[in-house]
Amino acid sequence: MKNDKQDGMQQVEDAKKTFLSGENFYTHHFLGAHQVEEGYVFRVWAPNALSVFLVGDFNAWQNDLPMEKDDASGIWQIYTDLANEGDLYKFKVMQANGREILKIDPFAVRFEKRPGDAAELYQFPEKKWKDGLWRGRSKRSNHFKRPMNIYEIHASSWKQHEDGTPYSLADLTEELIPYLVEMNYTHVEFMPLMEHPLGRSWGYQLIGYFALSSYYGTPAQFQDFVEACHLNNIGVFVDWVPGHYCINDDTLPYYDGTPQFEYIDPDRAKNNRWGSINFDLGKPQVQSFLISSAMFWIEMFHIDGIRVDAVSSMIYRDYDDGPWTPNHEGGNRNLEGYYFLQKLNAVVKLAHPNVLMIAEESSSETPVTGLIESGSLGFDFKWNMGWMNDVLRFYEMDPIYRKDHFNLITFSFMYMMQENFILPLSHDEVVHGKKSLMHKMWGDRYKQFAQLRNLYTYLMVHPGKKLLFMGSEWGQFLEWKFDEGLEWVDLNEPLNHSMQSFTAELNDFYKNQPALWELEDSYDTIEIIDADNTEESVLTFMRKGKRKKDFLIVILNMTPIERRDFTIGVPYPGKYKEIWNTEMQKFGGTWTKHNEACQSEPFEFKEYSQVIKTTVPALGVIILKPESINTRKR
């Protein structure tokens, strides 16, 4: 027993040292509250505090449990046998200036329901995971050469009960997962699930980096949700915010009365744009804290990926609206943030190479995806914000002007392989007066639906992984409201119902066409047939798979004019069959049958020696596939 105790003490001392050096990626194993023997040990990092008391339900929130400080690490500790699971607690910190304040436990794994923010003693139940087949398949899979179609969701506003209370994770397990399967999505991505006190922040201003928000349910329920997703072949991503945190005084800011988690420079510490506080990403203890948080979510919940929010704000000093100072090299690069992100990705990928790291980053000045050794930040994927902004601007435009702005939908072909991209039609585009995707579309209601089908098809056929925000799949007209459920009543309308069916069938089409993802990390995946037909505003290109005969011909008509006897070049002589048409009656269009198969004819069209003629519906997209061709001639 003596040796066991000595070993335990040595492990704690080693943990403290690596925490201070920024190399402890499991800090949550010793900081915070942990059950030992017949009680709990509590530890908190507050190096410049004058005193710290443990207060909670177990001592009537009185100052009778003083904690002891280890001066070398700045970590305060106490053991008590008074505490029991379910008790609420905080730390009463006398800060460096003598001010006394109740502070949260930064390493708490559960908090009371808001508006309260006391930590709750919680033990994860022993779970025997049943998702081994999914995880084994994921380890063997090349994510860059597999379909990825993500349904983005805000957990508490997907659906709500009749009394206005949000669905819990248990409810989502019962209803959301079958819906994801029915709609043929491959992944679900949650906006932040970590503890946050203000619903209006959508979860992007956190206080609990190791705690599932009690607003959504228990950690055990989220474990069960992820497991059920995996058993239904659905991957799970979670948004995470390591750049900045909630400004509430009783949470992380100036924890011991001095800049602790934040920068010393007040201009760098304050995030003016979002009214929050920026982490000092160069501080070793902060690096240990944040990387431990990422590892906690990956390992405790088996999530398949982390989407890192607001990367630009972490790598550029001038990203915010307030004053800024250049770095020591005279530039705007936030070197601390840059190297932290490289370190984060290196640590995660070494321990969990199959877990995907995704960046929400809006600039083009810094390589984001790829090998760290090449100067990249080391992410697996990056959201293509430029594609999203250009494409939505184009689809909002009156078609009469589209011929003059055709580059908005073709420019992305110039840079599409510079990063590993996800094409997002995300929550950011359907709030704050920007209107829903449906409402953005030009024209009357029929034309809006036609263009929405056109847009979603373009999303699927353009190189890059896919993401669509909840409610957009059926064309919800109202903007998203974070505190209300989606307008499911829309599905009583035939056009909305047809739109939902269209999205489900399109998602299935995407999964079953290897040409849309098999060579996606290479320019070999695409061949432009005609991107210069601005006068008619029709774009044509091919998507190609590994086999020579495995390709699709995509024709997008961006005007409300039907194009009859439309001629395009094709690579081989033979017959081409229409396999997709956005204007079919079952989708809400007017076409009752597909175009007849096209037999090519010898004729020069750009560099092609064969052409086909077909009809392209107004504001529609058709996709053709070779039925019988001669690949020896081109």
Catalytic residues, by residue number, are 309, 360
Q: How many CB atoms lie within 10 A of CB 491?
A: 15
Burial of 153 (0-12, 13-18, 19+ CB in 10 A): buried
Q: Which residue has the tokens 């800090």?
A: 27
SS3 184: coil
What b-and-e string marks burial along 38-76, b requiring 16 or more CB atoms within 10 Å of the CB?
eebbbbbbbbbbbebbbbbbbbeeeeebebebeeebbbb
Give the span between the Cα atoms of 15 and 38, in whole angstroms: 23
Helices 132-140, 219-231: crossing angle, 10 deg rounding: 60
Give the span between the Cα atoms of 614 and 381, in whole angstroms: 37
What is the token pair recorded at 15?
A: 């943990």
Q: How far from 611 is each of 361, 486, 541, 605, CA to CA, in Å? A: 41, 46, 13, 7
Give the span between the Cα atoms of 148 and 185, in whole angstroms: 8
What is the token pair recorded at 98?
A: 């003598």
Contact present, 489 and 447 (Cβ < 8 Å): no
Torsion of CA 599, 601, 606, 608, to 10 degrees: 70
SS3 498: helix
Give the closest residue to 622 by CA, choosing from 574, 564, 547: 564
443: left (phi over 0), alpha (psi -120 to 50) or beta: left
Contact present, 544 and 558 (Cβ < 8 Å): no
Count of residues in the chain: 634
Give the closest residue to 541 by CA, choosing from 532, 553, 551, 549: 553
CA dihedral over 67, 69, 70, 75, signed as positive or negative: positive
